[in-house]
Structure 1
Amino acid sequence: MSRRDCPTCGKAHKACICPLIVSLASEVELIILQHPTEVRRPLGTARILQLSLPNSHCFTGENFTTHPQLNQLLSEPDTSHFVLYPGEGATCISAVPVPHPQQKVRVILLDGTWKKAYKMWQLSENLHELPRLALPENLKSNYQIRKAPREGCLSTVEAGYHLLSYWQPGQDFTPLLTCFEQMIQFQVAHMSPEVRRRYIFL
């Protein structure tokens, strides 16, 4: 990591998101599986979840089949694990009963481009037996400066926000989106007009 980067959030000091982070309590734990190419991305959003949710976990790799820490978590008794990965075989969270407050639940998020997330899914055989979740199709992303392959694609932090908000409606997770949106606004403000024209802003 460069001296110009914040040692906590990993972003350049001038783009540091640490002052925007709000520590949030969540009964549902998130496990973020991050593709190696996402680690140094200045616009990566997984770090917002990791810093905001003290009980979250973040592991980096591509094939997690034999990943010791992940497999240890998956083997814990009396814990329900899900994978947030849309497509055939996935169940919309609106059709899944909201977990009981005393039920320990973890949800795995794949952090990467759709192509890389697909490869992570294909390689990580330990995920294939877990029930899969999908978010409602009508959700829209505010990730203005990173093009998505199709409508309805969300950033990792947006996906985490919607999942946690749906399953824990009594808790306010909007600080996740506030941090995300301010990070985006900072990046837009520091773009050259030429770069800005490459994107369609909402």
Structure 2
Amino acid sequence: MMSSRALLEKIPHAVSRLRASRLARSAKPFLARGGIKGERCAGCRLVPSHCLCALQPVVPTQAGMCLLMADIEPLKPSNTGWLIADVVTDTFAFGWARTEVDPALLALLADPQWQPYVVFPGEFVASERVVQAVTVTKAGKRPLFILLDATWPEARKMFRKSPYLNALPVLSLNPEQVSNYQLRRSRRDDHFCTSEVASLCLDLAGETHAAHALQAWLEVYTHHYLQAKHQLPPDLQGMAHAKLGAVNMT
């Protein structure tokens, strides 16, 4: 059954718009290493035979997500910031540059409806800035999680060279589980993909259903992506689809 969101007129979300903008500035086509080739669905970035747009969950949230994305992240099929924007309606995406900042980003950070939190390991931050709890209704404000969507070396550079983030509290996560992300490799089990970090933030903000929906959406996307890469059909009766189905029925 097609989700209510899929039945609506398809409107590109923040990451999709950022990707289109980045492609428009490219002097040559972006060619992802490995992965699937040929025609891709504009909605989910998969080959049409493995499209999963009809399965996209619709989950209202109080929390918002602000993605600061390294230069080519919006172009990568394996980027999971796209999945966050699929599930969390109030997702904002901005390209990061050391020498300039989008005025729309500064306006968002100053918007009185939001309480921004920079999500970053507390061990690299002065202790007085670090928080480990989120209050959804703090001073009537909604939490806005700022995620640095990049490789770890890039993220550290972005954190150091973004002075507009310096006055904001830093949310330090202490997850007990290890990453299950399979589309890119990390040398450390405590490095999570952007979508996993967003799920942890939602859970911390008390949005358990949305956190589970985003986790399930990542698992289904990963399954379809890898099956397409190996030219195998998706297992629609498998565990990943069962988890997503349970979320959509809640």
What is the TM-score with the length of structure 2 in the denominator?
0.67
- Of residues 189, 197, 203 in structure 2, which corresponds to 1:165? 203
Aligned residues: 190
Q: Which runs of 5+ in 2 are unaligned?
A: 1-22, 24-28, 30-37, 231-250
Contact residue 4 and residue 12 of structure 1 kept, 8 A: yes
Of Structure 1 and Structure 2, the greater helix share is in 2
8 Å CA contact 1:81, 1:108 repeated in 2 = yes
| C-alpha distance 186-26 of structure 1, shift in aligned 2 (>3 A) | same
1:174 matched residue in structure 2: 212
Tell me the equivalent position of 1:54: 89
Aligned pairs for 1:114-193 within 5 A: 114-169=152-207, 171-191=209-229
Change in Cα spacing, 1:157 to 1:64, as seen in structure 2 (3 Å) is farther
CA distance in 2, matches of 1:115, 1:39: 17
1:42 pairs, out of 74, 77, 95, with 77
- How many angstroms apart in 2 are the aligned matches of 1:108 and 1:66? 15
- Whole-angstrom distance in 1 between the partners of 2:91 and 2:183: 26
For the residues of structure 1 that align with 2:99 and 2:41, how far apart are their CA atoms? 28
SS at match of 1:9: coil
Letter matched to residue 41 of structure 2: C
Deviation, structure 1 residue 85: 0.9
Contact 1:65 / 1:125 at 8 angstroms: preserved in 2?
Answer: no
Q: Which residue of 2 aligns with 1:100?
A: 137
In structure 2, the CA distance between the partners of 1:124 and 1:26, relative to structure 1 (3 Å rule), is: same
Give the C-alpha shift of residue 4 in structure 1: 1.9
How far apart are 1:14 and its partner, in Å? 4.1
- In the aligned structure 2, how far is the partner of 1:78 from the partner of 1:187? 37
Root mean square deviation of aligned Cα: 2.5
The answer for the alignment partner of 2:35 in structure 1 is: none
Shift of 1:9: 3.4
Whole-angstrom distance in 2 between the partners of 1:184 and 1:139: 18
| Alignment-mate amino acid for residue 88 of structure 1 | F
Conserved 8 A contact 1:34-1:112: yes
- Computing the radius of gyration from Cα coordinates, the structure with the larger value is 2
2:7 aligned with 1:7: no
Give the 3-state SS of the residue equivalent to 1:80 in structure 2: strand
Q: Contact 2:134–2:143 (CA<8 Å) still a contact in 1?
A: no
Does residue 110 (structure 1) correspond to residue 148 (structure 2)? The answer is yes
TM-score, with structure 1 as normaliser: 0.81
Say whether 1:91 aligns with 2:130.
Answer: yes
The alpha-carbon deviation at position 164 of structure 1 amounts to 0.4
